[in-house]
Amino acid sequence: MSQPIIELHHVEKNYSSVPRKGLFARKENKPTVNALTDINLRIWPGEIFVIVGLSGSGKSTLLRTLNALITPTSGEVRFQGQALGSLSAAQMIALRREKTGMVFQSFALFDERNVLDNVAFGLEVAGVAREVRHQRAREMLAKVGLSHVEDNYPAELSGGMQQRVGLARALVVDPAVLLMDEAFSALDPIIRREMQTLLLSLQEAEQRTIVFVTHDMEEALRLGNRIAIMEAGKLIQVGPPEKIINAPATPYVRHLFSGVDTSRWQLADSYADVWQPQA
């Protein structure tokens, strides 16, 4: 069996909360927020691993520990077998620029760069020659269906198109892991579905490890090979969609997919024995 590409061991993250003006002026009075509590997790190469939970449950914090944008208060994150805490400065830069790509809810494109140069950005900072990086950027734009707008600027594009640029920009360096934080949450439902379809078709063409954060269970069920449920900084349940549906670990898990059509996954034989209908 292959090795996990990412492993978390007893990861904790506490924030000493930002003082509001005047209120918590004395440092020792600042309350601490436990954003992550004892997270243990393995993510496998080629899977779409979805992290679901309500707002404030710690999803973004968890995602950002994976490329060391956030350093855990304690515990260890291993990426391709290497502890992130032991990386040199150069290795840390390589992790963020080459081994991982990130897509944000807010798109976070460069307004003053055209589409082609937005997509080519990661290669530019890696020192790739202009012709080569433009060639690679054009290939990525073709894959996301945006070849016709390479000279346009982000402000001239719809939200869905801007996020396709965001996706192409993240993928241009061919990262081992793609990190997506509520990447489709700002889009209209139809466009959002189109983006999910695009992501699944890209994944079918070329398997990549994707860690996808969402608060939407329907999206999680559609995209995830496995789903991790977070509640108040804790990992409540991790498993494939049919397991989550047929054997929800807690009422909170069940609550997350209330109103979602789960008929596609219901009562797979292998889980029928552990599933208990609520009285």
Ligand X SMILES: Nc1ncnc2c1ncn2[C@@H]1O[C@H](COP(=O)(O)OP(=O)(O)O)[C@@H](O)[C@H]1O
User: Would you tell me which residues interact with ligand X (CB under 6 A)?
Assistant: 15, 17-18, 33, 35, 53, 55-61
- Residue 61 partner contact from Mg ion, ligand X, none using kind-dependent CB cut-offs of 5 to 8 Å: ligand X
For 20-176, strand residue ranges (E) read 32-43, 48-53, 74-79, 82-83, 100-104
Residue 53 or 101 with smaller CB distance to ligand X: 53
* Continuous segment of H or E residues that includes residue 213: strand 209-214
Q: Least distance to Mg ion from the beta carbon of 36, Å?
A: 13
How far apart (Å, rounded) are the C-alpha atoms in residues 18 and 15? 8
- Residue 17 partner contact from ligand X, Mg ion, none using kind-dependent CB cut-offs of 5 to 8 Å: ligand X
Residue among 176, 137, 156 nearest 47 (CA) = 176
- Residue 18 partner contact from Mg ion, ligand X, none using kind-dependent CB cut-offs of 5 to 8 Å: ligand X
Residue 58 or 175 with smaller CB distance to Mg ion: 58
Distance of alpha carbon 171 from the chain centroid: 13
Q: Least distance to ligand X from the beta carbon of 59, Å?
A: 3
- Residue 35 partner contact from ligand X, Mg ion, none using kind-dependent CB cut-offs of 5 to 8 Å: ligand X
Residue 139 or 218 with smaller CB distance to Mg ion: 218
Residue among 24, 105, 30 nearest 60 (CA) = 105
Q: How many residues belong to the chain?
A: 279
Residue 13 or 134 with smaller CB distance to ligand X: 13
Question: In one letter, which amino acid is 234?
Answer: K
Residue 15 or 275 with smaller CB distance to ligand X: 15
Backbone angles phi, psi at 38, to 5 degrees: 45, 60
Distances (CA, A) of 169 to 95, 100, 129: 16, 12, 16
Q: Site mask, Mg ion, residues 52-71, x = CB under 5 A?
A: --------x-----------
Question: Which stretches of the chain bind Mg ion, using CB under 5 A?
Answer: 60
